[in-house]
Amino acid sequence: MLSRGRTLGARYLGGGRTEFLVWAPVPDRVELHLGSPGERVVEMERGPRGYWSAVAEDVEPGARYFYLLDGERDRPDPASRYQPEGVHGPSQVIGDILADGGSWRGLAIEDYIFYELHVGTFTPEGTLESAIAELDGLADLGVTAVELMPVAQFPGERDWGYDGVLPFAVQNSYGGPPALRRFVQECHARSLAVVLDVVYNHFGPEGNYMREFGHYFSRRYETPWGEAINFDGPDSDEVRRFFIENALYWIHEFHVDALRLDAVHAICDRSASPFLRQLAAAVRASSHRLGRRVYAIPESDLNDPALVRAPELGGHGFDAQWSDDFHHALHALLTGERSGYYQDFGHIRHLVKAYRDGFVYTGQYSKYRRRTHGNDSRATPGARLVVFSQNHDQVGNRTMGERLITLAGFETAKLAAGAIILSPFLPLIFMGEEWGATAPFQYFVSHCDPGLIEAVRSGRKQEFANFTWAGEPPDPASEETFRRSVPQRLHTEQG
C-alpha cells in the first residue's frame, strides 16, 4: 500500500525539506497551506486509498501550516505534532524529538507502582517542566511508574485530557513536545518508568475536524461520547493505521514505557482480527525490536480476562488491565455507599473475592447492570491487574469530586492505601493521596462554544442520576473549579 513506510503528518528530512502525508479521502482536493516564514500554497499528490503527500522545500522546524481542503477550508493536520495556537490554529513542523534514549531499558511489569497525575493540576504552574521538580519526591516515596493523564491537544488550557482532538500533538499549555521529551528523560534518570494515558475510543467535540478528512467514525455504533470510531467498517484499515502509528509514536519518539488505553469497552469492533489485538501485537513487536520493556495496559469495565490472555490462547495479549472491582469492593466497605454501581458491593466477601480472584463479578448477576457480568479471572496473575483506592475517575466522577479522606477520614484513607499497597496486584496512587490531600478533583473544561459548555453541564448532571450524592455539580467551565482541583500541600502534618 502507498505510504506504509512513511509517517503520517509532517516529517523534517533535513536540508530545509519536509515531507507531508495525510489520509483524506473525503475532499476532492488537498493542498498544503504554509504560513511563516512566507505564505504559500503547495500542491499535494493524491495516491491510493485517499492519501495525499508532498515534499516541500524551504520548510524548517518551526514552520506553521494547514491543509487546505477543496480550496475552501484551512484545517490543522490530523497527525499534527504541535499546535502552538490551540486546536483551531495551524500545525507546526518539529524536528527530531529524541535521538538518544540512553541506557534505560525499562522495568519488569511486576515492579510497577503507579502514580497517576494530571499535569495541569499537579503543580500550581500546571506544566510538564514544573512537574519535574516533584520527581525526586516520587522516587523517594517508592513510586516506580509515573502515569500521565492524556496530554494530546485539547481545546483551551483546562481539561482532564479526554477531550483531545489531535492525538499526536502534545498539549501546548503543558509545554509541547520538548517538555514531554525532557520529562521522560528526567523520569528515566531517576529509574522511573513513564506511562501515558491515550484515548482511542472517541475524539473530543471542539476542534474535531476528522470527519472532514476521512471516515474516522462509524454510524453503526454509539458510545457515551457520540459516534464510535470506525475500527471495522469501510476504510477502517486506515483508521487503525492512524491509531497504531500514534501508539508507536509515543514509544519510539518519546521513549514512553507504557500506554494506558482509556475505556476500551467503548471500542466497537466485530472484526475477526480486532483492532485491540493488532495494537497489542504492534506494541509487543516494538518492545522486542527496541530492546526495551514496553507495555500496553487497557482500562475496561467488562471484567474480561481475555484482554491479558496470550494470543495463542485466544486472548488479546495485553500486559495488564485496570480492575474497578477491587476499588468498588473496598470503597463500598469503607464508606457505606450503596448507590449506582456500589449497589453490587458492600460485603466483606466481595473484597475477599477481589483479593483471591482479581474480579468480583465473574459471571454473576449484577443488580446495577441488570444482567450477568464478567468472566472467570482465577487464572489471571496478580501482576496483570492494576488496583487503586482512588483515581481520576473514582474521585472526579463524583458530584463534588471528593477524595476518600473527605468521605471517610484520614485513618480510613490510610487503611485503604495499605489495602492497595499490600495487595498481590499492581498498585496505583492518585496524586496527593500519599500526603493526605483534601482538595477535590473536579471535572473541568475550557471550551469556547457556549452551546457545548451547556451540553457538558447538562451531561454531568445526568451522569449522577443513579447515585444519591447531594449537591449540584460545580460548573465545569469555571476557572474556579479548575483552581479548586489543584492539591495544596497543607496536610503533611497529618502523616
- AA identity, residue 91: S
pLDDT at 37: 67
Is 433's pLDDT higher than 70? yes
- The confidence score (pLDDT) of residue 123 equals 95
The pLDDT of residue 471? 84
pLDDT band at 96 (very low <50, low <70, confident <90, very high): confident
Rounded to the nearest 10°, the torsion over CA 245, 249, 255, 261 is: -60
Cβ atoms 75, 66 nearer than 8 A:
yes
Question: Is it the case that residue 3 has pLDDT exceeding 50?
Answer: no
Residue range 9-92 in CATH 2.60.40.10: yes
Residue 371, Cβ density class (10 Å: 0-12 exposed, 13-18 middle, ≥19 buried): exposed
* Domain 109-322+381-494: CATH superfamily, name plus number: Glycosidases (3.20.20.80)
User: Which cell numbers in the block locate residue 323?
Assistant: 480492575
Residue 92 pLDDT greater than 90, yes or no: yes
Catalytic residues: 262, 299
Peptide bond into 473 cis (omega under 30): no
Does pLDDT of 70 surpass 60?
yes
pTM attached to this predicted model: 0.95
pLDDT computed for residue 5 by the predictor: 63
pLDDT score of 489: 67
Residues 330 and 351: their CA atoms lie apart, in Å, by 6
Task: Provide φ and ψ at 52, rounded to 5°.
Answer: -120, 140
Element (H, E) at 222: strand 217-223
**Mean pLDDT in residue range 309-326:** 96
Backbone φ and ψ for 429, nearest 5 degrees, come out as: -110, 135
State the sign of the Cα–Cα–Cα–Cα dihedral 29, 153, 300, 463. Answer: negative
At residue 1 the predicted structure's pLDDT band, cuts being 50, 70 and 90, is very low
Cβ pair 47, 3 in contact under 8 A: yes
- Phi and psi torsions of 50, nearest 5°: 85, 15
Residues 6+ apart with CB under 8 A from 214: 23, 24, 25, 26, 50, 78, 235, 238, 239
d(CA 149, CA 351): 27
Over residues 65-93, mean pLDDT:
98
Radius of gyration of the chain, Cα coordinates, nearest whole angstrom: 22
The end-to-end CA distance of the chain, in Å, is 59
Give the tens place of pLDDT for each residue, 397-406.
999 999 999 9
Distance from C-alpha of 201 to C-alpha of 316, rounded to nearest angstrom: 17
Which pLDDT band holds residue 493 (cuts at 50, 70, 90)? very low
* The Cα angle at residue 109 between residues 106 and 113, in degrees rounded to 5: 95
* Residues whose CB is less than 8 angstroms from the CB of residue 493 and which lie 6 or more positions away in sequence, other chains included: none
Mean pLDDT value across residues 138-145 = 98
pLDDT band, residue 490 (cuts 50/70/90): very low
Dmax (CA) for the chain in angstroms is: 69
| Rounded distance between C-alpha atoms, residue 146 and residue 148, angstroms | 6
Mean pLDDT of 433-453: 92
H or E element at residue 297: strand 295-298
274-303: burial string, b at 16+ Cβ within 10 Å, e else: bbbbbbbbbbbebbeeeeebbbbbbbbbeb
Q: H-type helices in 10-155, by residue range?
A: 119-122, 128-132, 135-141
Rounded Cα distance between 125 and 57, Å, is 38
* Per-residue pLDDT tens digits for 203-220: 999 999 999 999 999 999
Q: What is the pLDDT of residue 315?
A: 96
Digit-coded pLDDT (tens) for 264-291? 999 999 999 999 999 999 999 999 999 9
pLDDT, tens digit, for every residue of 22-37?
Answer: 999 999 999 999 997 6
Determine the pLDDT at residue 98.
Answer: 58
Distance from CA of residue 6 to its chain's centroid?
25
Return d(Cα 247, Cα 298) in angstroms, integer: 13
Encoded amino acid at 16, one letter: G
How much is the pLDDT for 190? 97
Cell of 61: 522546524
Structural domain spans, the chain: 9-92, 109-322+381-494
The Cα 410–Cα 405 span in angstroms is: 5
Say which residue the cell 482532564 belongs to: 160
